[in-house]
Amino acid sequence: HEGKAPLTVKLDDLAAEGAGSSWKAASASAAAVGAMMSGTDPTDLNFNFEVTGPIDGPSAGAIMTVGALAVLTNTPLKPTVTMTGTISPDGSIGTVAGIAAKLRAAASNGYETVVLPQTATTVQPKGEGERVDTIEYGTSLGLEVILAQNVSQAFEVFTGKPLFASTSSPYELSQSPALISAQSQATQAEIQAASSAVAEISADDPLRTQLEEELAAAQGLLTTNENAAFALAVDVLNQASRNTAAAKTSALISSAGVPTAQQNLLDDITADIAQIDALTARETAQVTSLSASQTLFLPSALTWLSYARAVLVSLQSPLKKLNPASETATQDLITSASIIGEQMAGVNYTFAQNLTMLSALPPDTVSPTEPVMTHLAGYTDFLIEAGQQNENYISGAFGIQPSDLQSMPAGSLLPVISALSAECSTITASGTSAARDTANASTALSYYATTSLLVSSAQAIGIESLGLNESPSIQQPEMVLSSLNTGADIVTSQASLIFDKGLQPGFATWSTAWGLEAFTTLTARGRAGDGTVIALNEIWFDTVALFMLNALQTN
């Protein structure tokens, strides 16, 4: 604790000591997640990790998070316990390589217990060939092996104490009747928006028939599973909006030529960014009239705007530089149009449904004993720091140079990260205004979540072909499912703690629920990658907001 210094991770000197970019990214995430999960206000924290020799890789992320939690909660760690596993923003522990060798190393160094990711059920003792049961292999080495989903479980193994206090009962959305009514309103509004979007698709396009069937399924779920109905409506809206925008640009190219379509898209982007900025200003201007719970959830809702803005900004430069005579010009314009269409569908419709749920949160039954905006601004600093370390790792892992971003095709995710990074670099000290601080927090959250998604995909989850205009492929579905289940469990436990505290967690409960249904329903339709990205983003946004609420001091 260092007075009023923001949470930082001092890594500048570590390169000379042999720390690689992957390890740095893991340590920054460990500091961020550890601070959030501990329920500590980050405005007076400063982390410094030291290494004694060459080190790289993400495998220490989870144990460093446990270490941060132990320091912040003043809880001693058992010296006979060790661990390997990556860390995600929701506290879930991801898979790592070389587990058999690490178990042997733990045994030879006198450890008695090793915590591993829950998915590490088998190992290859010789590094290849036959796989054996991990727990049995650990026993043969004299080790107790414990498989853990998340760092809260690992923390209890390391300390013998639970990280979170017990709650009276799990929080359910039905405990807030106003939210149940708002959920119905939001779901029906999203279905109506999706229906209008489908009606714009040409009648002879096979996609129209497919989406009409999906809409009918959503309608049928209204009385049995509103979360699934909402998830399907979001998917239909996105697909229809992509299709219509692409078709309109294609028709314009045919009738007026590539240069006209190119300028039309650039004009659209300028107008759309202005619309997003106006919406952001309108909603953040009201932040001082919101409850503490609404204030700390507002940045999550605003990510529909801050992320879309970054996508649009990332498309501007390539579109300006596009040579109308190039062989790829027509396809690049159509691809850009489809991306813009999908992003603006979220801005114009799904964002509105998020506001419906946010405004329906019941009043808090407690009052903050600290300024809520100061509390929120403190989190902005370390989300940006963790995002920067993630971005550094991504650049190194993928061999990306700044000049490469200018030549990437439309739909690449890296230019979006660069746009978010540039926006974050303009964020100065908090306190300019409550509205500005809220918008900054949303940008930081989008930056952190987007970079974390790419890092986790590369290190543990196994999502390939991440981009804006194609369905990602899932290489390790068991890892994805474990991460989603773990994140959902964290949301449930945090929501119950927060509700017992007198605050209102219903926005996160709803968002996570429909995100998980997006994964389930889209997986059943052969598009697990799309569902995974939606679900992970919703869960990660929700956990960060819940961690902020849990750390808020109340009377």
* Per-residue pLDDT tens over the stretch 149-171: 888 899 999 999 988 877 668 89
pLDDT at residue 363 in the model: 96
**Residue 224: both structure tokens together:** 């049995």
pLDDT at residue 474 in the model: 77
Half-sphere exposure of 496 (CA within 13 A, CB side): 14
pLDDT at residue 8 in the model: 44
Measure the CA–CA gap between 301 and 451, rounded to whole angstroms. Answer: 18
Residue keyed to tokens 């060459």: 54
Measure the CA–CA gap between 462 and 95, rounded to whole angstroms. Answer: 10
pLDDT digits (tens, 9 = 90+) for 301-325: 999 999 999 999 999 999 999 999 9
Q: Is the dihedral of CA 8, 546, 416, 515 positive or negative?
A: positive
**Residue 189: both structure tokens together:** 């509004």
**Residue 490: both structure tokens together:** 């964290």
Amino acid type, 55: I
pLDDT at residue 132 in the model: 94
CA quadruple 164, 168, 173, 178: dihedral, nearest 10: -120
Alpha helices in 173-222 (DSSP H): 177-199, 206-221
- The closest alpha carbon to 442, from 553, 301, 271, belongs to 301
pLDDT at residue 405 in the model: 73
Contact status, residue 304 vs residue 347, Cβ threshold 8 Å:
yes
DSSP per-residue codes, 261-291: HHHHHHHHHHHHHHHHHHHHHHHHTTGGGS-
Measure the CA–CA gap between 193 and 195, rounded to whole angstroms. Answer: 5
Amino acid type, 299: P
Contact status, residue 454 vs residue 466, Cβ threshold 8 Å:
yes
Alpha helices in 226-368 (DSSP H): 226-256, 258-284, 292-321, 329-345, 351-359
Amino acid type, 11: L
Q: Determine the 3-state secondary structure of 251 from DSSP.
A: helix
Strands 113-117 and 122-123: unpaired
Contact status, residue 531 vs residue 518, Cβ threshold 8 Å:
yes
pLDDT at residue 6 in the model: 40
Ranges under pLDDT 70 in the chain:
1-19, 43, 51-57, 167-168, 397-398, 402-403, 429-431, 458-467
Q: What's the start-to-end Cα distance of the chain, in Å?
A: 23
**C-alpha to C-alpha distances, 246 to 242, 309, 355, nearest whole angstrom:** 6, 19, 28
Measure the CA–CA gap between 225 and 245, rounded to whole angstroms. Answer: 30
Q: Is the dihedral of CA 450, 454, 459, 460 positive or negative?
A: positive
Instruction: Please compute Rg for the chain using Cα positions.
Output: 23
